[in-house]
Structures are given as structure tokens and as C-alpha cells.
Amino acid sequence: MEPGEIHALLGENGAGKSTLMNVLYGLYQPDEGEILVDGKPLKLKGPSDAIGAGIGMVHQHFMLVPVFTVTENIMLGAEQVRGGIAGFLDRRRARREVAEVSERYNLRVDPDAVIEDLPVGIQQRVEIVKALTRDVDLLILDEPTAVLTPQETEELLTVMRSLKAAGKSIVFITHKLGEVKAIADRITVIRRGKTVGTASPEASRDELAALMVGRNVRLTVDKAPATPGEPVLEVAGLVVDDDRQIRAVDGIDLTVRAGEVLGVAGVQGNGQTELIEAIMGLRPVLAGTVSLAGDRIDGWKPKKVLRAGVGYVPEDRSVDGLVKEFSVAENLVLDIYDRPPFGSGLALKPDAIAASAKERIEQFDVRTSSADTAVGTLSGGNQQKVIVARELSRPLKLFIAAQPTRGVDVGSIEFIHSQIIRERDIGTAVLVVSSELDEVIGLADRIAVMYRGRIIGIVGPDTPREEIGLLMAGISPDAAHEATAATGEGPANADGSASEDEA
């Protein structure tokens, strides 16, 4: 990092950007390696060390006390006191300091406003002011635009430019190409925890997209050509909101046929999660229809959808997929515990559960010391195999797998992929959602690319990955040439939808 430089850290979700920055900010301890500041190695025991070394961070999720005023939040942790031992808070001085800093860097904030009344963009500005009052030289912005509207993003970029002019260095973490090209002086691309390349902002979007999704690691999946049958899942005009009541799926039409794999590609946070949750009945459908083999299933409860022959691997296994305290055997019947042979009436049949668990642990190669082991003690790959085993061991019409191999070791990835293809070959319609482009390309017979709640293109699996990468960045094939020719303020800049999972 040079003084007065904006360095962009580009990578997909889960690539390790946030982890790296948390290490830099002293929140995590490095297992190996060291951090150099001005040529000297730096040992950080916590954020206060980092602040002392002149490193400030604005988190993706703001660290503000909602009921405090702007000044109080900025004072927090570095309270000015007067009156000696009596220790009265010196609000007036703090307030003056806030006003001064916001004046100097052209960051307009009202020092007396209460945080919870402020819009997100202003809250973020408060975070930046907070960092600046601590006299930092290096400011880390972790996905700062994820929660901002296009206008707010534009203002943020202006602020970053003025900070740069004042000699501050900025690390800018993002996965949005347009912003990077607009502001960065230097770009480092991270993929799966490794630096895969450095680029200058003059690099084309194609080059950046290719670096980001990675062309080196290609996991091939052996499979015969698909023999698509009747349509099984039909989605028409689907509209769904996310948890914050912001439109996440904005009119999607989709058909998955028996015996084919439809892959949904896209950068995380473009509505994929909400799309499948709506299909599963976990999220209300605001408009449009979802049909399973001809039956309207929108408005059904999740249990009814599952019963109708839908298998579902949720994207976050530890939150939605497994009960960690439960044993492997119990997790293997988590959604069929009340169906014969595992339950009859009010009674569970522990023997049947144990017998079937034994069988499936064998069949799906789950590495566990016993079926009674708590699932939380298993490795990520084996946990995922438990979910896949559960969902694939009943007759299905439709199998939905979201991020089926996230955080899973290579061996398990291969196994899970082969199981997905096996399910396709017995005539199940398969919908795979993944932000790993390799995975989608390897598995899918058709690829639908989602961008900002819409499907902006359905392509074959032999489409060049660069083209898919562009689609993922929101550049439709026709506009691709224009957009790459344009300087930087592309459509990716206006990316309003947020990704929230990179904690």
C-alpha cells in the first residue's frame, strides 16, 4: 500500500477478503505470516493496536449504537473527559472535533443526529468520520457499497477521492467491477484465500471477471448428455422481497425439465437465495406463480412442498440445513421424521432411524465415528453429505441444491457432484444455484444467469466463461461491447442489491 492510494481488493464472496481485513484490523490472529507497516512487522492483539498503528476499518455491518447521537458514537471508545478524576464527558470538545473532521473531508454529518434516524449512507459516513477522528492513515472499507443506493454509492466514491487527495490510503473491498474501475489505483484479486493476480484499473472488465471467477481451477464433472423430459418446475413472473422488504426477485420466468440440471449462476446477493426460498414456501410470493409438475405450489407451506417430492439443500448448512446439537442419525431424518418408517402417529421409531442412518452413512460415505455423534463435530464436507444424503434418499420430482459445495473439501465436492448427476439421470429435475461459476458450468445442462433479481440470460454450458462472467456482472451479451468500451460508470455501479453473508 502506498500513501494516498486506493487499493481495491476484488473477489467473490467467501474468497477470504473480509477475513484478510479482519486480520489486518486485529480482530483475528494470523496463523502464519506477518503484517508489515512502514517496513516493520506489526503484531496486532486487537483493534486498539490496529488503531494505534493508524489502521481504521469500516465494517460491512456498522458498529454503531443506534440510540446514541453521532457525536456519542464517535466518542465511544475514545471518550474525552474533563474535570480530572470526576471524569465528565467532554461532549463539547468531541462535538467540535466531529464538526471539524467532517468539514475537512467534506463529509457532511449532523453531530447531534441520533444514529437510528439516519439513512444507511449517512451511517456509513459516520463510521468513516469515526475512523478519521482516530487519526488513521489506512482506512479499510469492507463492501461499503453493498448496502448503498446508487446515489449514495456515487457520494461515497466522491468522499473516497477527497480522502485520497488528503493523503489517506484506502483498501476497498468489493466484488463489483464497475466501482473498482471507477476508483481504484491498483487492484488485487483474491480467490479461495489466495492472491490470484494484480491488475491496473485499465484492465478490461473481461479480464477482471475472468480473474475473479478463476479460469485455472476447473472441476470437471463426468456426465452423459441430458435427456430432458416434461417440465417439472415452472416459475412465471415471480416477485419476492428480501428480509428488508427490498425487491430481491423481480419477475422471473424459469422452467426446469425432468432429467436436466438447470444451473443458476450469479454473484451472491442477486436474488438467488430469495428465488429458491420462495419456491420452497419459506418466503412469501408477492406475484407470479410456481408450479410443480402442473400443480400450483406457491402459497404452500414448506412441509407440503417437501412432501410433494422436492429435495432441498439450503445454501447455509449450519443455519438452515442442520441442527448441530442433533446426532447424524437425527439430522438424516430432519424432514421425514414423522413419515413411516421413522415415525408413526406420535411415536418415533429409533430402530428404524438408526438402521436407515447406518445405511446412508455407508452409501453417502459420511465420515463419522458413529451415527450418534453430534453433527456439529463433523467436517464441513461431511455435514454437507449428511444433508445431501437426507434429501436424496426419498423419491424426488425436483431437487434444489443451493451452494451445494460451499466450504467443502475437494473430495467431497466430487462426490456431491456425482450424486447430483446421478439424481438427474434417474429423471429428477435439478436446480443448482451456485456463485462458483466452475460448479455451475460443470453441472448444468443449461445456465441461467441472475443479475439484480432478474434472469438476464440463459446459455448453454459450453458458452465461454468470460461471457458468463460478463453476464454475472450485469452486462448482457449485446451490451457487452459497448460496456467494455465505456470507461467505468457501468451498470455494475448501480448495483443496489446487497450481499449479507460475508461475515
Rule CB under 8 A: choose which of 82, 108, 215, 301 binds other proteins: 301
Rule CB under 8 A: choose which of 194, 303, 422, 481 binds other proteins: 303
Select the span of 112-120, 175-183, 311-319, 455-463 touching other proteins (CB under 8 A): 311-319
Q: Are 288 and 251 in contact (CB under 8 A)?
A: yes
CB of 248 vs other proteins, minimal distance in Å: 18
319 near other proteins (CB under 8 A):
yes
Rule CB under 8 A: choose which of 36, 224, 347, 485 binds other proteins: 347
Of 320 and 414, the one with the shorter C-beta distance to other proteins is: 320
308 near other proteins (CB under 8 A):
no
Of 91 and 307, the one with the shorter C-beta distance to other proteins is: 307
Task: Using alpha carbons, select from 419, 460, 448 the residue that is nearest to residue 221.
Answer: 419
Task: Using alpha carbons, select from 320, 260, 313, 252 the residue that is nearest to residue 286.
Answer: 252
330 near other proteins (CB under 8 A):
yes
d(CA 416, CA 419): 5
Instruction: Fill in the DSSP letter of residue 298.
Output: T
For residue 424, the Cα-to-chain-centroid distance in whole angstroms is 27
Q: Cell numbers at residue 454, please?
A: 432478474
Helix (H, G, I), strand (E, B) or coil at 433: strand
323 near other proteins (CB under 8 A):
yes
Task: Using alpha carbons, select from 428, 12, 143, 110 the residue that is nearest to residue 257.
Answer: 428
379 near other proteins (CB under 8 A):
no
Of 179 and 330, the one with the shorter C-beta distance to other proteins is: 330
User: 453, exposed or middle or buried, with CB in 10 Å at 0-12, 13-18, 19+?
Assistant: buried
Q: Are 272 and 402 in contact (CB under 8 A)?
A: yes
- Helix ranges (H only) for 105-176 are 120-133, 150-165
321 near other proteins (CB under 8 A):
yes
372 near other proteins (CB under 8 A):
yes
Q: Are 492 and 182 in contact (CB under 8 A)?
A: no
CB of 96 vs other proteins, minimal distance in Å: 40
306 near other proteins (CB under 8 A):
yes
Rule CB under 8 A: choose which of 66, 87, 284, 350 binds other proteins: 350
Rule CB under 8 A: choose which of 346, 478, 485, 503 binds other proteins: 346
Site of interaction with other proteins (CB under 8 A)? 280, 282, 301-307, 312, 314, 319-327, 330, 334-335, 337-338, 343, 345-348, 350, 354, 369-370, 372-374, 377
